[in-house]
Structure 1
Amino acid sequence: MDNPQAFLEHDLASRWQAPGCAAAIVKDGQLLAKHAWGYANLETRAPLTTETIFPICSISKQMVCLVLWDLLDGPNGTDIEAKIFDTLREILPAETMSNHDLTISRLVGMQSGLRDYWALSVLWGAAPQSRFSLYQDAPQAMKRLGGYHFSPGSELSYCNSNYVAISLAIEKVTGRTLRDLLQEKVFMPAGMKTAALRPDTSRIPAPMVGYEGGETAGYIRYANRIEWAGDAGVMASLEDMIAYEKYVHRSAADANSIYYKMSREPTYIDGNVAHYGSGLMRGKLAGKDGNPDMEWVGHSGGLAGFRLRRTFFPKHNLSIVTLFNSEIDTMAVTEYAAKRLILGASIEQTLPQRKKDPDWDGWISWTGNYFDLDARLAVVVRQDKPHHIQVNYGGHDEGLDLTGRGTATSKYMTIDTAPDGPLAIHRPKENREFAAQLIHTPTNPYHIRADYVGEYYSADIDSTMHITGSGSVLYAAFDGYLGKGPVHTMRYLGAHVWLMSCFRSLDAPSPGFWTVEFAGDGGEAVTGATVGCSIARKVEYKKKA
């Protein structure tokens, strides 16, 4: 691209209008372009600049891993690793630490099998915009995670609990704050002059404000009140992130650097290549007309009112950083920018062509409700337009193209099926293959059992669930150590399976739809329920008499 500065100022800014954004392009360790537009605060008309501080949220994870692996790579690394494990035994539930497949690499690679504590905060009675304390509430959360929802090392499930536990362990073992360690081992070497660990999201430096909503509904100021640890606590400006990208470019070419070592592709316990490790996610963007795929390494960040992303394309030695104080799809922004910068083409010109079976006449009806018997999660499928379906699995919708007779594909999932048969689902980035059985909806779906209503308790995570309602309408509410949470609406799918809606919670993005599967004793009486979302599965509740 001849003029990347003009690209940022005119093309990118006009396509993704928002309250404000700061973006940068770094190539071969040098800044090509940077631009900030819009406002940090719409009410006071404070402009957003390249020096405005953002909460960079989960981008923090890779920086914590730079600290972690620097400690473990040092002369006392073996001793420090043993002490971290001993401390993790104090922080996490005792039964989890007895599994020898749980390693530090699998913790920071999202392969731990632990449930995500931000998702579980819903079941512990947290309300949106309520307070969450790092040193009071977080340790209690770690003790209430329950057992594994899959065997460590076998799958991937995004889990902030891993990074809270590691962060607390690092502080105890070293006797130093994570803030000081990040300053010494990451921010100063990288030249990040204003970056710091600032866990309290209610104290984002002025004038920065995060906004929900959009152009049609209006932008709504959101007041966060949660405290993060190493899972998401760093705040930094675009200038800081430019310095970090330059540091990444230097480190990626140095085989002795900590970044180089931790950015190598990890694997699962079965030997398959994993797409996440040490706070770094990996992926590919499809090229155009025979161009090779564009491999990237990076991470996104999200908090109510903020969406952020840094992405490094190693083969092209190119980085793209986008920081928004609104809830923009930053992956779409990055994909568009990368294809313009690397291929010189617009995203419309580089969309992959659907490979359609010439004999396929479209006879399959995809709309239906299914159930993953392993993870105990609902799979809701609807056909929203010709040759395209929406699949809600574990909480949120994902679009798939229909590519043949009973086949649908997306970046993250492939589905094969037959009329009235199970769905064969492959999710390679999670290392999962499973069958989802069709849920047969009764002839009269509005005849709902009265004994669903009642009080349920989970000893596994120390949570009480209240199911209320009558006729065809049910509601769920949860009590726990974080309080008495709001009421959630429920929708009947069939058999004993319901969806519970949760699109506002302490963290962002929220879990979305939870699956609630009621259970009986082999007869008619309802005796319990299994509750779960993709990052917090199979939470067992027993119904109180």
Structure 2
Amino acid sequence: MAQNGDIQKILESIPATYRGPGGAIAIVKDGELAGQHVWGFASLEKRIPLTPSTIFPICSISKQMVCLILTELLADDKDKVFENALTKALHELLPENLISNKDLTVERLVGMQSGLRDYWALSVLWGAAPGDRFSIYSDAPKALKRLGDFHFAPGSQMSYCNTNFMTIGLAIEKASGKTLGGLLDSRLFKPAGMKTAALRPDTEQIPPPLVGYEGSESAGYIPYKNRIEWAGDAGIQASLEDMIAYEKYIDRAQHDENSAYRKNAQQPHYLDGRKAHYGNGLGHAEAMGMDSVGHGGALAGFKLHRRYFPEKRTSVIVMLNWEQNPWQIGGHALKNLFTPGWKEEEEEKKKGVEKVDVDWTGAYLDEEAKIAVVVTQEKPGEVVVNYDGHEDTISLKSSTEAVADDMTITFVGDGKLEINRIEDGRKFSARKLAKAPESLDIDYTGVYHSTDVDSTLDCTGTGGMLYGSFTGYLGSGPAHLMRHLGEDVWHLSCYRSLDSTAPGTWTVVFRRGEDGKTVKGVTVGCWLARGVEYVRT
């Protein structure tokens, strides 16, 4: 591994490679700071530079910290008073049809295996618009009563779900009689030496001067104002100095057999015994040939990532006030530290497939989840896949197989794909949709209602240009453009829900009546909130 002087050079080279308003990165090695670099501006408008003490919203990195508190509270609970109160609180927060399932446990909630739909995604169906207010104590309880049914059996697979941690955070407060912020401060921030870290749920109140930006260098960067309240799922704010202290704390805790972190970082599993890739707010992944544990965070205008490599006793922290992939930056730095010749190795791997083209691009449908899989090819040697609402570029291993760290796709002929979503613990087939005709033979427009999640869909437009808009307890949301993929399947594009980039793209599958000429209903879903059934009114 590179020495500290080399580490600093690597970190200082990052801004010119990954250009944006500003950022901060640090490497912690063997429990000590090995290098850090802060560049750019906290506020472009006011020309105020970023510093190591600038406070960021760390977003979903909060989840692992909440889990540390939960594990400590349960460990201290010798008479099970807190545990019983926690169970009672969960029964009060979640509807009976969900909480009565014996497999919906705290372990499944903090492992993203609950099978609950994500409220962040569902907010679109409830009529939220980007920039709307969302209150953790008034809007969130209403959301929990409108989740509908499970979209997969608890413990059978993994799907990212902020509902899990919003629920856990509220339940901890009910069960302990203390604020989550107070518990985090006394049990984590102070012991770890995180001097300015705090639970600040209201994202509209990010401490100045920090501003989050959307845009690009070519189009310009625009300040974005968030108005969402978060708590257990993403409500902590901290500086780079705080996060360096946290990484030192984690390194110490990793080597303490009795620590909450040591317990939380153990390998998670599904109900059937298969290894899972997420547990207690920590994502488990192999990177650069080593096991690593970490998490990212995102809010409109902000991207963050932290990752710890136990074998090397090395952490990386990346904090950005713009929307570049932070792990791409962190991974770039670590590759240069761990394996300086990585660029040549990657170029060597590309040889042999760099000229490969495929003949199986097009739109497919995951029949079980009712989610479209759209495969395109822009360059030889790789395909672009849109499944979970985001475009993933995947390298071709052959003319029929594409492989990434967390997904493999195999074309098996007869218009069928076999897909393995490794981190989600799910394997499934997708069939190719028949191409869309030049003129549609059915009228999809109309009003549809879902009693399951208390939402109304209004589909308008003519011919192949349709729009979908949703109304629910959060209001009447904007109209979203819809694109015909084939048969009765459409994409509905949604760049933002309240403030986050999720869910990206929804799949809309219309259901015909027995006459085959009229539409009687529609299934709407995305990876975070699947299979929501609507009936034509």
TM-score range (shorter-chain normalised) is over 0.9
Which of 258, 261, 269 matches 1:259? 261
Q: Deviations over 1:105-136 (max 9, x none)?
A: 11001000000100000010000011111111
> Which residues of structure 1 form unaligned runs of 5+?
287-292
| Cα pair 1:266 1:276 within 8 Å, conserved | yes
Superposition deviation, residue 521 in structure 1: 2.8
Residue 421 of structure 2 is aligned to residue 427 of structure 1: yes
Find out whether 1:384 has 2:378 as its counterpart: yes
**Counterpart selection for 1:519 from 511, 514, 517:** 511
- Give the Cα separation in 2 of the matches to 1:337 and 1:523: 60
Question: CA 1:223–1:63 in 2, change beyond 3 Å: closer, same or farther?
Answer: same
Indicate the RMSD between aligned Cα atoms, in angstroms: 1.7
Secondary structure at the counterpart of residue 378 of structure 2: strand
The answer (yes or no) to whether the contact 1:503–1:513 under 8 Å persists in 2 is yes
Q: For 1:52-451, list aligned pairs within 5 A.
A: 52-76=54-78, 78-286=80-288, 293-345=289-341, 347=343, 349-350=345-346, 353-354=349-350, 364-442=358-436, 444-450=437-443
**1:536 aligned residue (521, 529, 532):** 529
The 8 Å contact of residues 209 and 325 in structure 1, kept in 2 or not, is answered as: yes
Q: By how many angstroms is 1:387 displaced? A: 2.1
Identity of aligned residues (%): 51
Distance (Å, rounded) in 2 between the aligned partners of 1:267 and 1:347: 34
Query: In the alignment, residue 543 of structure 1 is paired with which amino acid?
Result: R
Asked whether the 8 Å contact 1:503–1:511 carries over to 2, the reply is: yes
**Could you tell me how far 1:416 is from its partner in structure 2?**
1.3
Q: Do 2:11 and 2:333's aligned partners in 1 also have CA atoms closer than 8 Å?
A: no
Deviation, 1:255, is 0.8
The 8 Å contact of residues 8 and 33 in structure 1, kept in 2 or not, is answered as no
Q: SS of the residue aligned with 2:311?
A: helix
* Secondary structure, counterpart of 1:66 in structure 2: helix
Alpha-carbon separation, structure 2, partners of 1:312 and 1:14: 25
Deviation of residue 102 (structure 1)? Answer: 1.1
SS at match of 1:61: helix
Q: Distance in 1 between matches of 2:144 and 2:528?
A: 15
Deviation (angstroms), 1:7: 2.3
Pairing 1:466–2:458 present: yes
CA distance 1:418–1:197, change in 2 (3 Å) = same
Give distance in 2, aligned partners of 1:121 and 1:363.
40
Q: Aligned pair in 2 of structure 1 residues 300, 44: CA closer, same or farther (>3 Å)?
A: same
Relative distance call for 1:88 and 1:355 in structure 2 (3 A) is: farther
- TM-score normalised over the length of structure 2: 0.96
Give the 3 Å change call, closer, same or farther, for CA 219–126 of structure 1 in structure 2: same
Q: 1:17 deviation in Å?
A: 2.4
Aligned-partner Cα distance in 2 for 1:362–1:50: 46
Of 21, 24, 38 in structure 2, the residue corresponding to residue 36 of structure 1 is 38
Alpha-carbon distance in structure 1 between the residues aligned to 2:266 and 2:7: 32
Equivalent-residue separation in structure 2 for 1:334 and 1:354 (angstroms):
22
Contact in 1 for aligned 2:355/2:381 (Cα 8 Å)? no
Q: CA deviation at 1:217?
A: 1.1
- Aligned with 2:491: secondary structure? strand
The Cα shift of 1:441 comes to: 1.7
Whole-angstrom distance in 1 between the partners of 2:527 and 2:327 = 20
Structure 2 contact 455–471 (Cα < 8 Å) conserved: yes
Q: 1:526–1:351: structure 2 CA closer, same or farther, 3 Å change rule?
A: same
Question: Shift in Å at residue 50 of structure 1?
Answer: 0.2
Give the superposition deviation at 1:421.
2.4
Deviations, residues 488-512 of structure 1 (Å, cap 9, x unaligned)? 0000011110000001221322211
Counterpart residue type for residue 455 of structure 2 = S
Residues 445 and 85 of structure 1, relative CA distance in 2, 3 Å threshold: farther
For 2:339, the aligned partner's letter is L
Q: 1:151 to 1:189 in 2, by over 3 A?
A: same
Contact 2:450 2:533 (C-alpha < 8 Å) held by counterparts: yes
Query: Following TM superposition, by how much is the alpha carbon of 1:4 offset from its aligned partner in structure 2, in angstroms?
Result: 4.4
**Kept after mapping to 2: 8 A contact 1:448/1:471:** no
**Structure 2 residue ranges without an equivalent (≥5):** none
CA shift for structure 1 position 351: 5.8
1:373-393 alpha-carbon deviations (Å, 9 max, x no partner): 111100111111112111111
Q: Distance in 1 between matches of 2:196 and 2:358?
A: 56
Cα 1:363–1:5, aligned 2, differ >3 Å: closer, same or farther? closer
1:429 aligned counterpart, secondary structure = coil
**Alignment check: 8 A CA contact 1:70 1:258 kept:** yes
Cα separation, 2, equivalents of 1:386 and 1:121: 39
- Aligned partners of 1:211 and 1:219 also within 8 Å: yes
Q: Within 2, Cα distance between the matches of 1:201 and 1:327?
A: 16
Q: Aligned partner of 2:527: which letter?
A: S
- The one-letter code matched in structure 2 to 1:299 is H
Task: Report the 3-state secondary structure (helix = DSSP H, G, I; strand = E; otherwise coil) of the residue aligned with 1:39.
Answer: strand
The residue number in structure 2 matching 1:289 is none
Q: Could you say if the C-alpha distance between residues 361 and 11 of structure 1 is closer, same or farther in structure 2, counting changes exceeding 3 Å? A: closer
Question: Could you tell which deviates more after superposition, 360-369 or 463-472?
Answer: 360-369
2:400 maps to amino acid: G
Q: Structure 1: how far apart are the matches of 2:316 and 2:383?
A: 31
The structure-2 alpha-carbon separation of the partners of 1:495 and 1:329, relative to structure 1 and needing over 3 Å to count, comes to same
> How much does 1:355 deviate?
8.2
What is the DSSP-based 3-state SS (H/G/I as helix, E as strand, rest coil) of the residue aligned with 2:461? Answer: strand
CA contact (8 A) 2:371 2:525 kept: yes
Q: Distance in 2 between matches of 1:158 and 1:333?
A: 23
2:45 counterpart of 1:49:
no
Per the TM alignment, residue 542 of structure 1 is displaced from its structure 2 partner at its CA by 0.7
1:366 Cα offset (Å): 2.0
Which range moved further: 361-370 or 80-89? 361-370
Distance in 2, matches of 1:535 and 1:429, equals 14
The answer to whether the 8 A contact 1:439-1:493 is kept is: yes
Quickly say closer, same or farther: Cα 1:176–1:401, change in 2 above 3 A. Answer: same
Q: Which residue of 2 aligns with 1:290?
A: none
Deviation by residue 1:448-494 (Cα, 9 ceiling, x = unmatched):
522x1111111111001000011221110000111000000000011
Which residue identity lines up with residue 465 of structure 2 in the other structure?
A: V
Structure 2 distance, partners of 1:7, 1:370, is 46
